[in-house]
Chain A
Amino acid sequence: MANPKIPEFKADWKEGEEGRWGMAIDMDLCTGCQACVAACSMENNVPFVGEEMSGYGRQMAWLRVERLWEGEYPEVKMTPFQPVMCQQCGSAPCEPVCPVFATVHSQVEQLNLQVYNRCVGTRYCANNCPYVVRVFNWADYDRPEPLPNQFNPDVTVRRRGVMEKCTFCIQRIHKAEDQAKSEGREVVDGEVAPACAQACPADAIVFGRMDDPESRVSKLSKDGRAVHLLEELGTNPRVAYLKGGSNGNLG
């Protein structure tokens, strides 16, 4: 450890190469039931901030279901529900701006990590995130008994003053990888799913290996209906949104 390597901001990503883990969300299937939001909060020990804080825009959920509409009332046309979480950009704008390397790209998982105990809370990453998916712990939120009993022991409980965001349930990825490694094989498609994908009753959220061309998520991401959010910014998001079935035809 004499010469610690300065972490890289981007994994060694090459043009045309997909990341290791990815997600595809079928907006034509999404019913907007918010089960993914609830499951995510349970899995990741996300605090509940109360009505007042939430009303002022301090809700902590790592995942939100966007619902917009077009036109003026009463000629309103609803757009499909759109669950938005961290897009795990291959070229993430949040990474270079952190002064203390609290948000870095992992070489192994090719995910965008948030290192809670390194964060000093400048919140620059959140400003620079075009998807506005990062949330900040404005306070230490109350968890009255018996709520602490349902903490997930695999996930850190964050204190006030640090940023956090969706991790693609990296604890589940690690568990599956450990299991696969002990059995001397690769993780197979469908073996690991983050809480949101697991909870989705419509199976609208699909998660899996992007580097496996045969996986479900790879095929869906290459589907003609697939788009990426704010693709023009060149952030290489790892979440594909599928749209076009009943709402016109993009594909």
Chain B
Amino acid sequence: MAISANALPHAHADEHDHEAYLRKEHLMLDPKPRGEMNALVMESMTTTSWKFWVIAAVMAAIVAIGLFGAWGYMIANGLYLTGKNRPGYWSLFLVHTVFWIGISHAGTFVSALLRVFKAEFRRPFTRAAELMTTFALAQAGIQIFAHMGRVWLAYWMFPIPNQRLLWTNFHSPLMWDFLAINTYLLSSTMYLFLPLIPDLAMARDRSTGWRKSLYRILAMGFRGTEAEWTHLRIALNIFAFAILPVMFSVHTIVSWDFAAAMRPGWSSTIFGPYFVVGALQSGVSAVAMVVITIRYTMKNMDYFIRKEHFDALGKLMLIISMSWAYFFFNDYMVQWYGGDKWTDALLHFHEAGPAGWIWFMMLITNIAIPWLVLWNKNWRRNPVMLFTVGLLANVGMWAERFIIVPVSLEINRMPFMWGQTFKPGIEVPMFIGTVAFFILLYMLASRLIPLVPVWEVQEGQMAHSIRKYGKEPVVSVADLE
């Protein structure tokens, strides 16, 4: 009997190559001296080409005209400029509010959940993701206020003791929504600011002029003593755990705006988790798009953002797409099984009505395309493909909200009042304006604060090392806490 001796599949002929591969692949295994890395980040913040200012000027113009100009015109003239009517009292503004809240969702999700589970690949892009939460919530706020008939009285919705002897109605899901979004905005902004402090201190020590003054104020006197780090770590830990339920609550409560109403198609008990997963679907895709954009437009970012990060985000998108498919099916099943004749009419209207192509497009871009592309390692590591899948997932999630809000409003229990809602109105330039505003805020932030959390990357690199086990390079990670 012949005995054949083959090399073990993991053993490479040249173990040095394997080690080089590991270092090239993983940021955590490719450490740079601290001073050098700090310089890389400072350089990426201060190197600005003329193209940046051209794009920023275009974005600012779109924001000024398309968003605030159009909004002011609408406030002065009335909501007839929108595409709303009866029965479509809510329409694109609500679609875009839910859309932006969904995008904002994943910023904190990626950061907090991965921090809690100590996923090491999170380190270079947590800040970019956290910024997304704050910036997208600002757009959601603009959209929801634009939706109001008399926005100049918006403060009547704030529970402030007043001489009008009026109080807000805490029985209204809109009030819950208002409070949940405010809680989320405040807590996610604090969660963004906490890990920013050491990087601001780093920037303060390496800049001059107005930047130094700005960073000195923002860094709040952080010197990097042991006590300061301990406090920061404890605070971050508390926030990362505490913000997760806040994050789940906020989109569940957004879904209650619909689920608590007594309308066919809205009054669905599964809407809470369905909306949370939908938000992650659009949000994680948006994180991937932001990370890819940063990687290919900012200086020195090719060191921090690598294929491994595309890979990890691609896997996350695939899992979330599968969860979304399940909850979509679940929501459909429960509503169909209920057998209510109005819901039946509505479900039929979704697929076979004039907006049926949007319904099918939603299924293709949210399920078919991610499943067909993201299972393949090489494809999900390809930035063009990952970006395209992310963009399409966001188109699909926009379509999902479009189906839920205006299309579902077209069918009600009084067939005499069925009607078509969609007429593109002033919501379209205002939506383009919020997209431009979102991009503009990111562009300005990239000039002002380090988009990469340098200290987190350095901390991770200190914990990781490659040891030799015989001839095999083995990655070891020290537990930091």
Contacts and interface: CB of A to CB of B under 8 A. Distances in A.
A59 B417 CA distance: 12
B414 A57 contact: no
Interface stretch (A1-9, A20-28, A143-151, A213-221): A1-9
B77 to A, nearest CB: 7
Nearest to B263: A127
Interface residues of A, number: 46
A241 interface: no
Contacts of A9: 171
A127 B156 contact: no
A97 B149 contact: no
Contacts of A131: 413-414
Nearest to B172: A99
Contacts, number: 138
Contacts of B79: 121, 136, 138-139, 160-161
Nearest to A160: B78
Interface in B82-111: 84-90
A167 B373 CA distance: 58
B169 interface: yes
Nearest to A132: B417
A120 interface: yes
B141 to A, nearest CB: 14
B148 interface: yes
Given A118-B166, A120-B157, A123-B149, A56 B85 contact: yes
A108 interface: no
B154 interface: yes
B149 A120 contact: yes
B165 A119 contact: no
B80 interface: yes
A58 interface: yes
A64 B416 contact: yes
Interface string A61-101: 00010111000000000000000100000000100111111
Interface string A12-44: 000000000000000000000000000000000
A198 interface: no
B70 to A, nearest CB: 16
A122 interface: yes
A136 B263 CA distance: 19
A135 B413 contact: no
Q: Which among B80, B148, B151 has the highest number of chain A CB atoms within 10 Å? A: B80
Contacts of B167: 4, 6, 101
29 contacts: A53-B80, A66-B416, A67-B416, A68-B415, A93-B262, A98-B172, A100-B166, A101-B168, A118-B166, A119-B150, A120-B148, A120-B157, A122-B147, A122-B149, A123-B149, A127-B263, A127-B409, A128-B262, A130-B413, A131-B413, A132-B86, A132-B412, A136-B149, A138-B79, A138-B85, A139-B79, A140-B78, A161-B148, A162-B150
B174 interface: yes
Contacts of B148: 120-122, 161
Contacts of B88: 57
B421 to A, nearest CB: 8
B419 interface: yes
Q: Which among A9, A101, A135 has the highest number of chain B CB atoms within 10 Å? A: A101
A200 interface: no
B206 interface: no
Given A101-B168, A120-B153, A121-B150, 20 more contacts: A66-B416, A84-B416, A97-B260, A97-B261, A99-B157, A100-B166, A101-B167, A119-B150, A120-B149, A120-B150, A120-B157, A121-B148, A124-B172, A126-B86, A130-B263, A132-B414, A136-B89, A138-B78, A138-B79, A161-B148
A230 interface: yes
Given A68-B415, A124-B172, A139 B80 contact: yes
Contacts of B261: 93, 97, 124, 127-128
Contacts of B356: none
B377 interface: no
Interface string B385-428: 00000000000000000000000010011111101010100000
B336 interface: no
Nearest to A126: B89
B473 interface: no
B178 interface: yes
Contacts of A161: 78-79, 148-150
Shortest beta-carbon contacts, A-B, top 4 = A121-B149, A161-B149, A57-B85, A139-B78
